[in-house]
């Protein structure tokens, strides 16, 4: 009966590892410590929101990068995820999450799923997340990864995020994680009064500025420049 017993134990461990919200029983302490260091660095750079910092400490970024880059997953830099795309720098993820006022219970749209990491951070905070990715391959990968890691409340769609997700609008917050040439009017329309959007705007290889778009209670829109950034370009044909 040795083999069946061993299988049962393995199956139980696998289940435990997959249960949403369960502490991962097999995660090396080194990864937790590296993540702790990353969160400290981000706090040192000025991110104050405790829910954002908790999410940065909790979500296993090494699961969202290429296998060869796992050892570098907790440095404060972007990393390649294939197809010429990147997972954003952790500080920028935290900064954008704080800037849109992410908090438990709000409905959020992300444009540019990429690896799914930003969506996972939002989900960990307690947001309901919808996210759009223009590469089918990346959308499929992110969907599988997020399900495997227990982020069941994130819906991933393959398509062009310029047009948002009208059936699910309005959103309390919108995060665009690719650089746009302009602020897409559809996205502004899909923002709830009182809602906020962050979006990098600018030329592909030149200067880009992260812009905060705020829609007040009466529907009036104001924009503010937050900081210079560098994102991959927002594309316009699903592929
Ligand atoms: N937020 C991601 C990183 C984004 S990189 C993460 O956490 O990993 C930007 C992503 O935007 C890329 O995956 C790119 O393919 C995607 N993208 C570019 N243009 C897009 C568009 N018009 N609609 C949706 N996704 C787009």
Average pLDDT across each block of 10 residues of the chain; the chain has 239 residues. List them in order: 39 44 64 95 98 98 96 95 96 98 98 98 98 98 98 95 98 98 97 98 90 97 97 95
Kindly state whether residue 236 falls inside one of the protein's structural domains: no
Name the strands in the sheet holding 221-229, side by side, starting at the edge strand that comes first in the sequence: 154-158, 128-133, 107-111, 171-176, 191-202, 208-215, 221-229
Is 160 inside any structural domain?
yes
Atom number, ligand 1, closest to the C-alpha of residue 161: 23
For residue 189, what are the CA distances in angstroms to 16, 95, 124, 219, 225?
42, 24, 27, 9, 20
Task: Answer yes or no: is 175 within a domain.
Answer: yes
CATH number of the domain within which 185 lies:
3.40.50.150
pTM to 2 decimal places:
0.90
Q: Give SS3 for 48.
A: coil
* CA angle, 33 then 34 then 40, to 5°: 90
Q: How many domains does the chain divide into?
A: 1
Task: Determine the distance separating the centroid of ligand 1 and the alpha carbon of 81, expressed in angstroms.
Answer: 11
Q: Return the beta strands (E) in the chain as ranges.
A: 79-82, 85-87, 107-111, 128-133, 154-158, 171-176, 191-202, 208-215, 221-229
- Residue bearing the CA closest to ligand 1, atom 14: 112
Catalytic choice (88, 115, 123, 218): 88
pLDDT of the residue at 205: 76
How many angstroms does the Cα of residue 157 sit away from the middle of ligand 1?
12
* Structural domain span for residue 32: 28-229
Q: Is residue 21 part of a domain?
A: no
Contacts for 168 with CB less than 8 Å, ≥ 6 apart? 107, 109, 130
Q: How far apart are CA 36 and CA 6, in angstroms?
A: 34
7 domain residue, yes or no: no
**HSE-up (13 A, CA, CB side) for residue 88:** 29
């Amino acid at each position: 009966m040795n083999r069946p017993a061993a299988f049962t134990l393995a199956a139980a461990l696998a289940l435990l590892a997959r249960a949403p919200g369960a502490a991962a029983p097999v995660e090396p302490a080194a990864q937790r410590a590296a993540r702790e260091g990353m969160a400290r660095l981000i706090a040192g750079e000025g991110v104050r929101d405790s829910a954002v910092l908790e999410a940065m400490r909790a979500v296993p970024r090494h699961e969202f990068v290429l296998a060869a880059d796992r050892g570098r997953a907790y440095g404060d830099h972007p990393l390649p995820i294939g197809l010429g795309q990147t997972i954003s720098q952790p500080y920028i993820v935290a900064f954008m999450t704080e800037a849109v006022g992410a908090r438990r219970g709000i409905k959020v749209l992300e444009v540019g799923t990429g690896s799914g990491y930003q969506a996972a951070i939002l989900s960990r905070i307690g947001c309901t997340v919808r996210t759009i990715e223009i590469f089918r391959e990346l959308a499929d990968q992110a969907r599988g990864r997020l399900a495997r890691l227990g982020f069941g409340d994130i819906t991933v769609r393959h398509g062009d995020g310029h047009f948002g997700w009208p059936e699910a609008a309005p959103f309390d917050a919108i995060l665009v994680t690719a650089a746009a040439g302009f602020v897409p009017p559809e996205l502004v329309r899909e923002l709830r009064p009182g809602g906020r959007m962050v979006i990098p705007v600018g030329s592909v290889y030149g200067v880009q500025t992260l812009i905060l778009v705020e829609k007040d209670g009466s529907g009036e829109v104001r924009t503010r420049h937050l900081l210079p950034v560098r994102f991959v370009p927002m594309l316009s044909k699903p592929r």
